[in-house]
């Protein structure tokens, strides 16, 4: 009898599928220069901006790597660096207008995925999945 895969692996497979679909939708909409690594860093930028060191930590990459990715995102017009209003010496990375356009495409694809998964799991199953994953986030997400 085959051993069941660990729940963490099953969650990873679903997450990877969603991430790839979302990135493909964004690229198909004309934002084709964005890479998966850049998207993962950009996805961690808060609504008021985020410091580069925090982006690196959350994306689990070296600060140099995050700097390189943010530089490329900035050159492509997805993000901008602004003065941190709480500390004039610091800088925040903030989503720029082009980034907002790409995010809108990503949100539409996220909604399509939710709809497809709801059809597959049923309304009740999807609601339960969301509730359980939200509860699990309490012990797994240090950035919640």
Average pLDDT over residues 125-141: 96
Domain ranges (residues) in the chain: 18-137
CATH class of segment(s) 18-137: mainly alpha
Tell me how far apart the alpha carbons of residues 94 and 101 are, in angstroms, rounded to a whole number.
14
Average pLDDT over residues 92-115: 98
30: which 2 tokens?
A: 């004309």
Q: Which tops the pLDDT comparison, 87 or 114?
A: 114
The pLDDT value recorded for residue 89 is 85
| Model confidence band, residue 1 (pLDDT cutoffs 50, 70, 90) | low
The pLDDT value recorded for residue 123 is 98
* Average pLDDT of the residues of the chain: 95
DSSP for residue 78: S
Q: How many CB atoms lie within 10 A of CB 99?
A: 21
Residue (of 36, 103, 91) closest to 69 by Cα position: 36
3: which 2 tokens?
A: 């051993």
The pLDDT value recorded for residue 90 is 86
Judged against a pLDDT cut of 90, whether residue 98 lies above it is answered with yes
113 class by beta-carbon count within 10 Å (0-12 exposed, 13-18 middle, 19+ buried): middle
């Amino acid at each position: 009898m085959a051993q069941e895969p660990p729940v963490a692996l099953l969650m990873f497979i679903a997450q990877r599928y969603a991430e790839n679909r979302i990135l493909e939708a964004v690229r198909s909409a004309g934002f084709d220069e964005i890479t998966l690594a850049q998207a993962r860093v950009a996805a961690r930028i808060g609504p008021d901006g985020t410091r580069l060191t925090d982006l690196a930590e959350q994306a689990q990459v070296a600060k140099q790597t995050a700097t390189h990715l943010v530089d490329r995102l900035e050159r492509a017009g997805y993000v901008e660096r602004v003065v941190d209003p709480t500390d004039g010496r610091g800088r925040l990375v903030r989503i720029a207008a082009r980034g907002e356009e790409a995010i809108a495409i990503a949100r539409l694809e996220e909604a399509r995925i939710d709809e497809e998964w709801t059809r597959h799991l049923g309304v009740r199953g999807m609601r339960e999945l969301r509730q359980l994953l939200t509860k699990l986030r309490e012990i797994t997400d240090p950035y919640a």
